[in-house]
Amino acid sequence: MPGRTWELCLLLLLGLGSQEALPPPCESQIYCHGELLHQVQMAKLYQDDKHFVDMPLSTTPDRVLQSFDELSKAHNHSIPTQHLQVFLAKYFQDVGQELQAWTPEDWKDSPQFLQKISDAKLRAWAGQLHQLWKKLGKKMKPEVLSHPEQFSLIYSAHPFIVPGGRFLEFYYWDSYWVMEGLLLSEMAQTVKGMLQNFLDLVKTYGHIPNGGRVYYLQRSQPPLLTLMMDRYLSHTNDTAFLQENIETLALELDFWTKNRSVSVSLGENTYVLNRYYVPYGGPRPESYSKDVELADTLPEGDRETLWAELKAGAESGWDFSSRWLTGDPNPNLLSSIRTSKLVPVDLNAFLCQAEELMSSFYARLGNDAQAEKYRTLREQRLATLSAVLWDEESGAWFDYDLDTGKKNKEFYPSNLTPLWAGCFSDSGVADKALKYLEDSHILTYQHGIPTSLQKTGQQWDFPNAWAPLQDVVIRGLAKSPSPQAQEVAFQLAQNWIRTNFDVYSQKSAMYEKYDISNGGQPGGGGEYEVQEGFGWTNGVVLMLLDRYGDRLTSGAQLAFLEPHCLLAALLLNFLLSLLPR
């Protein structure tokens, strides 16, 4: 790879696209690129492309590749389906064979937060969600360490909690909300192990991959490692662990600085921000056939660019959304994706928050020079967020389009991430955000905050609602000194809790996303069926039950009100709550 660096840079600068222009997502000629991957995935032997690339090998990769090469040549590089099936049965094992179920050692029957929940039905439900950590616990078998070449799974020394469903490995940003739930369940030791896994990955690769598979290696996800450490410290005060790992936290932020920075010129000023950007070629292995078929709709020279943009969309965590579909001629087509051309509000808010925490961490450890360095970085980013992404008229921040020089004014909950991250200097920003939600008619949705107001068929768009985005808006408002913002935060929490509770009452399951267009149901759209589990959904519910447990109810929701009436009603409810009982 080092020998091709200048060649790759030149190709990228010139915008040239060819099959050789970009390196593959990993070196494996089974799990990341090559004829074997292509023939198996295009044969569509499995309902989900992820299935094949999660299958462990029964023998060495060299032996598998040699046998495949002989088989392929015998059939003129077009192996009949039945022969492929026989080949796979001989050389591959079933998905999940490399993992074993694991009950966390620090799991206990009755964590204290359950006692804070007044509604008996919600308290019983919270107890069932607490039980789910045992179902979602996984531990790797020793052979993943001794024979890593036979697995797409990346070895982790410590057990961990997975999202659920098709997701049998860790995912980076999911794990933050999982950890919040685990800490409420008083499972700090499990959280420490998961944190150590992530820190080990940074030491090995310089960053945390999107998820725990080799085909995810060259892309990351929203950078929340520093926040994970902060939450762990707040529950344990384990300063020794921070001291041991502070340089690794710094190394992860350096990855975003070195590999994901971009300059924006406005007037005479130039600002440095961050974006999602994955300059690696080929279809995503876990969505291979879909990516190939999508690329077939484009001229050959545009295909590598498409695949790189799809990977950047996956790195954003929003895979996929109208946020990134801003190309011509039809902005609703996935082939119009241009993730790397947008400067995202949420990514820059996460990094701003991380810089503030790093300053605090270094101060705690007595390193004033490093504390000052990160304090300065945060101040620079605050000024940049204000200059480039903030829109005073709307009262929100917006993604910035590098090509057009304009903000994307569409509604996304991510537009309020700086409020959640505490990255603003205007004390009146929460009231402005509240007006933004009202003007966007978001408060008319009784079952959750929609991911967007655009219906593209992608899973990070209307009518889906996602747990982490509820948290972004609810906690952003709840932390405000404004009573009105705090009361709206409570009502939004009440809406989300009832949606999750009602679906659980019908299905006995938690889901990764919810359709809020018709009373609240499991979500849909995107590239795969909605998944049960579900790590971050459970975590956010437990957080809301912990924050508002004395007020939340499992009963019928407020009747529909116009936004201005809802705000008035909520303020009245708040004032009434102050009266002596």
Provide the b/e sequence for 437-471 (b: ≥16 CB within 10 Å): bbebebbebbbbbbbbbbebebbbbbbbbbbbbbb
Beta strands (DSSP E) in 412-495 are: 464-466
Residue 396: strand, helix, or coil: strand
Q: What is the mean pLDDT of residues 171-189?
A: 98
Q: What is the DSSP string of 295-355?
A: HTTS-GGGHHHHHHHHHHHHHTS--S-TTTB--SS-TTSGGGB-GGGEE-HHHHHHHHHHH
Reference 68, options 43, 96, 46; nearest CA is 43
Q: What is the pLDDT of residue 567?
A: 58
The catalytic position among 119, 180, 319, 515 is 319
Residues 177/468, Cβ–Cβ less than 8 Å? yes
Please tell me the predicted confidence (pLDDT) of residue 519. 87
Given a cut of 60, whether residue 373 has pLDDT beyond it is yes
Q: Under 8 Å CB-to-CB from 534, ≥6 apart: which residues?
A: 163, 164, 165, 510, 511, 512
By mean pLDDT, which of 215-224, 315-324, 402-411, 552-561 is the weakest?
552-561
- 379: annotated active-site residue: no
Do 385 and 352 touch, CB atoms closer than 8 A? yes
pTM of the model: 0.93
290 forms beta bridges with none
Burial (0-12, 13-18, 19+ Cβ within 10 Å), 481 = exposed
Per the annotation, the verdict on 94 as an active-site residue is no
For the ranges 324-333, 383-392, 501-510, the lowest mean pLDDT is seen at 324-333
Reported as a pLDDT band with limits 50, 70 and 90, residue 573 is: low
Q: What is the pLDDT of residues 462-484, one digit of tens each?
A: 999 999 999 999 999 999 999 99
| CB-based burial label for 43 (10 Å; 0-12, 13-18, 19+) | middle
What are the pLDDT digits (tens) for 383-419?
Answer: 999 999 999 999 999 999 999 999 999 999 999 999 9
Catalytic residue among 49, 54, 512, 515: 512
d(C-alpha 230, C-alpha 505), whole Å? 34
Q: What angle separates helix 35-43 from helix 288-295, to the nearest 10 degrees?
A: 90
* CA separation for the pair 322, 453 (Å, rounded): 9
Q: With bands split at pLDDT 50, 70 and 90, how would you rate the model's confidence at 518?
A: confident
Distance CA 443, CA 449 (A): 8
